[in-house]
């Protein structure tokens, strides 16, 4: 199979000349092809078959031990003008970037097969969807992209019809961190990634295309590409409202997207539309409409258990690719928090498990599974128009400071609330874990251009519509002095979402505070919740002196953006400071 699209044909030939593969395989995305490639992956050891009885069609992939998470320090945005990438990104010029990375691609596929994967991000018939083509020499990437995107024939047909597509070139190279780079050329709609097989670095449709390149496209075309889950919340009266929420990696998106209402909240239902990425467009009705560009979930395994996320656990017992989890004696996948009665015998590196040597599953071990396997999958997941968003929720992991929930005064203040998100780092990226860092809109690793221009773009929506969603901030991760979480989280988070939707409907009460509107303890439904009144009080109060320090930190952070900073964010910050000072 080749293509009628001459630009695509020429690019594939050009890449083949550079990388010198033994064979070229154009993927059609069929079941037969998937089965055939699976057999090859089993033969090469890229995948290991798990217990056929308990986990039919489930496979384990072990990545190189130095290649287990996104590598932000090796990720670049290559724009003509350095300012366009902004202080939030690593930058080198496009000419230098191509030179440097092409020298690594030179001959890198010798002895290997080069796979050409046409894919579509978003429902194939959606005007909001966008296509790309990834060229890769990794079977794990091919098989994962088949799960995570609409990959194959239909995508190629759309590319041939529309003409445009994002180009992504990937090779695992020699997996050496010294020769690992993830480069983006937004002006050319191009991605080049070498030296890593890790999902976020190698499944180019996901972070590289659907966030970094798409955020750039979205700016010039008037929409938003965001690191957000999309969830439908159905109340006991049967009314469903959609919420989009941006939390940094490993801070609870997949869990919230698949939440199971607590037994004490009968009649509520939760419908999953997406768990990681949302593309948001203004509809003719002035509302923000969201699609999930992905077709699968690439979720964090540790912590996924029968109490925390049974919906996820239940979808993982067939047709799932696991990466870097442990294995039980009878070849079932295992990770911390999965199931108390099972024990791991092999760790994520493939060695006999020794508890002294660390966890059995890597803290950033993952599952890759088709969205249709999710019991709570929304019937609107495939809707070409997407779903209308009532509330945007920002959040992060903050042991201290950030209350359980607060509401922004209006859209502009909401942009400040998003821009001021900070969160403790997690195992989803290499580097120290548990360090608070600024992560605006949970997009620090993913915004494909200057954050200041991005905030200006966000602020601009206020001029275009008066029906924008309300904006909120949540924190499920407050801790006591002993490092215990003081909010039960998971299913109980629905109580907070109930208040949020009540605010959108105009039925829930709030008190005004310097940082925004907050529920008084009596405004939050805590019926049958096993929690002390003091704890609720602590979760719903703010410490003005600590917040004053936080505002100083936000100011110092914004100062890095110099003249690019939109005036409106400084004004919002000043308004907050004045309100706080009145309380001190």
- Which segments of 39-128 are extended strands (E)? 48-49, 59-61, 75-77, 90-91, 113-121
Two structure tokens written together for 280? 């948001």
226 binds Mn ion (CB under 5 A): no
Is there a binding annotation on residue 490?
yes
* Residues 296-308 as b or e (16 or more Cβ within 10 Å = b): bbbbbbbbbbeeb
249 binds ligand PGA (CB under 6 A): yes
247 binds ligand GDP (CB under 6 A): yes
Identify which of 33, 62, 34, 63 has the alpha carbon closest to the alpha carbon of residue 50.
62
What's the min distance (Å) between Cβ of 476 and ligand GDP? 4
Is there a binding annotation on residue 250?
yes
Choosing from 262, 283, 359, 489, the residue that interacts with ligand GDP (CB under 6 A) is 489
* Pairwise CA distance, residues 249 & 275, whole Å: 11
Two structure tokens written together for 519? 């529920």
Choosing from 29, 132, 195, 303, the residue that interacts with ligand GDP (CB under 6 A) is 303
Residue placing its CB nearer to ligand PGA in the complex, 298 or 335: 298
- CB-neighbour burial class of residue 467 (10 A; exposed 0-12, middle 13-18, buried 19+): exposed
Identify which of 111, 107, 76 has the alpha carbon closest to the alpha carbon of residue 94.
76
Is there a binding annotation on residue 338?
no
Q: Which stretch binds Mn ion (CB under 5 A): 274-282, 477-485, 505-513, 562-570?
A: 274-282
User: What DSSP element (H or E) covers 555?
Assistant: helix 544-559
Question: Which of helix, strand or coil describes residue 68?
Answer: coil
Residue 190: Cβ within 10 Å count? 20
How far out from the chain centre does Cα 195 lie? 22
Choosing from 88, 196, 249, 320, the residue that interacts with Mn ion (CB under 5 A) is 249
Choosing from 170, 207, 253, 473, the residue that interacts with ligand GDP (CB under 6 A) is 253
311 binds Mn ion (CB under 5 A): no
Which residues inside 257-276 make contact with ligand GDP, applying CB under 6 A?
275
Is there a binding annotation on residue 207?
yes
Q: Which stretch binds ligand GDP (CB under 6 A): 9-17, 142-150, 248-256, 325-333?
A: 248-256
* Pairwise CA distance, residues 255 & 38, whole Å: 29
Residue placing its CB nearer to ligand GDP in the complex, 33 or 439: 439
Q: Which stretch binds ligand PGA (CB under 6 A): 49-57, 137-145, 249-257, 303-311?
A: 249-257
- Pairing mode, if any, of strands 150-151 and 130-136? unpaired
* C-alpha distances in Å from residue 155, one per residue of 121, 124, 129, 164, 300: 9, 7, 10, 11, 28
Choosing from 33, 46, 84, 276, the residue that interacts with Mn ion (CB under 5 A) is 276
Residue placing its CB nearer to ligand PGA in the complex, 298 or 487: 298
Is there a binding annotation on residue 254?
yes
- Pairing mode, if any, of strands 511-513 and 387-395? unpaired
405 - beta bridge partners?
474
Choosing from 152, 200, 302, 333, the residue that interacts with ligand PGA (CB under 6 A) is 200
Two structure tokens written together for 150? 């609409």
- Which segments of 181-223 are extended strands (E)? 181-185, 190-194
* Pairwise CA distance, residues 37 & 31, whole Å: 10
Active site includes 208?
no
Choosing from 323, 493, 513, 576, the residue that interacts with ligand GDP (CB under 6 A) is 493
Residues 130, 128, 319, 494: is their CA dihedral positive or negative? Answer: positive
Residue placing its CB nearer to ligand PGA in the complex, 201 or 287: 201
Residue placing its CB nearer to Mn ion in the complex, 253 or 398: 253
Which one of 131, 251, 374, 447 is the catalytic residue? 251
Choosing from 300, 360, 419, 569, the residue that interacts with ligand PGA (CB under 6 A) is 300
C-beta separation of 510 from 516 below 8 A: no
Q: List, in order, residues 6 or more apart from 426 with CB less than 8 Å away.
A: 248, 249, 250, 251, 363, 364, 397, 433
Q: Which stretch binds ligand GDP (CB under 6 A): 79-87, 244-252, 454-462, 568-576?
A: 244-252
Residue nearest to ligand GDP (CB): 303
Residues annotated catalytic, as ranges: 251
Interface with Mn ion (CB under 5 A)? 249, 253-254, 276, 299
- Residue ranges of the annotated binding site are 70, 198-200, 207, 227, 249-255, 276, 364-366, 397, 490-493
Annotated binding site for Mn(2+): 207, 227, 276
Residue ranges that bind ligand PGA, judged by CB under 6 A:
70, 200, 249-250, 253-254, 276, 298, 300, 428
Known binding-site residue numbers for substrate: 70, 198-200, 249, 364-366
Which parts of this chain interact with ligand GDP (CB under 6 A)?
247, 249-255, 275, 299-300, 302-303, 308, 476-477, 485, 489-490, 493
């Amino acid at each position: 199979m080749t293509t009628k699209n001459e630009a695509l044909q020429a690019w594939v030939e050009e890449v083949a000349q550079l990388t010198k593969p033994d064979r070229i395989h154009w993927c059609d995305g069929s079941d037969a092809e998937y089965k055939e490639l699976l057999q090859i992956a089993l033969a090469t050891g890229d995948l290991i078959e798990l217990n056929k009885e308990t986990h039919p069609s489930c496979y384990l992939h072990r990545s190189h031990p130095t290649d287990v998470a996104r590598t932000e320090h090796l990720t670049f945005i290559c724009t003509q003008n350095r300012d366009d990438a902004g202080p939030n990104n690593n930058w080198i010029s496009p000419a230098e970037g191509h030179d440097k990375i092409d020298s690594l691609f030179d001959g890198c596929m010798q002895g290997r097969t080069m796979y050409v994967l046409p894919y579509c991000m978003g429902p194939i018939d959606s005007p909001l969807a966008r296509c790309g083509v990834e060229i890769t020499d990794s079977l794990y990437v091919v098989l994962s992209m088949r799960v995570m995107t609409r990959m194959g024939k239909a995508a190629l047909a759309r590319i041939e019809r529309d003409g445009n597509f994002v180009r992504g070139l990937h090779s695992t190279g020699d997996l050496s961190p010294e020769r690992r780079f993830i480069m983006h050329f937004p002006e050319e709609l191009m991605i080049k990634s070498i030296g890593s097989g890790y999902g976020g670095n190698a499944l180019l449709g996901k972070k590289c295309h659907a966030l970094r390149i798409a955020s750039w496209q979205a700016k010039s075309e008037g929409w938003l590409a965001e690191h957000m889950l999309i969830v439908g919340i159905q109340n006991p009266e049967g009314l469903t409202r959609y919420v989009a929420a941006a939390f940094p990696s490993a801070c609870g998106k997949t869990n919230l997207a698949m939440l199971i209402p607590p037994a004490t909240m009968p009649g509520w239902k939760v419908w999953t539309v997406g768990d990681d990425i949302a593309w948001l467009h203004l509809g003719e009705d002035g509302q923000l409409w969201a699609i999930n560009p992905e077709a699968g979930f690439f979720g964090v395994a540790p912590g996924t258990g029968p109490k925390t996320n049974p919906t996820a656990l239940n979808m993982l017992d067939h047709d799932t690719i696991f990466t870097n989890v442990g294995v039980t004696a009878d070849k079932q996948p295992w990770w911390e928090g999965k199931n108390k009665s099972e024990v791991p015998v092999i760790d994520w590196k493939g060695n006999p498990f020794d508890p002294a040597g660390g966890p059995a599953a890597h803290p950033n071990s993952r599952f890759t599974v088709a969205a249709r396997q999710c019991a709570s999958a929304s019937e609107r997941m495939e809707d070409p128009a997407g779903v209308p968003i009532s509330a945007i929720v920002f959040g992060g992991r903050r042991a201290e400071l950030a209350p359980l929930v607060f509401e922004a005064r209006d859209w502009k203040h909401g942009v400040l609330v998003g821009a001021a998100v900070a969160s403790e780092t997690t195992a989803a990226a290499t580097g120290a874990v548990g360090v608070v860092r600024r992560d605006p809109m949970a997009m620090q690793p993913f915004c494909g251009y200057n954050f200041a221009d991005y905030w200006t773009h966000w602020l601009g929506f206020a001029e275009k519509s008066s029906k924008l969603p309300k904006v909120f901030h949540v924190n499920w991760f407050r801790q006591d002095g002993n490092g215990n979480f003081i909010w039960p989280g998971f299913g109980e988070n629905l109580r907070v979402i109930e208040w949020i939707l009540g605010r959108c409907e105009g039925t829930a009460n709030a008190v005004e505070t310097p940082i925004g509107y907050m529920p008084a303890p009596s405004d939050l439904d805590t019926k049958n919740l096993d929690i002390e009144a003091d704890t609720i009080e602590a979760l719903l109060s703010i410490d003005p002196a600590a917040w004053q320090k936080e505002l100083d930190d936000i100011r110092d952070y914004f100062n890095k953006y110099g003249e690019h900073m939109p005036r409106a964010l400084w004004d919002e910050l000043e308004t907050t400071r004045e309100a706080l000072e009145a309380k001190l």
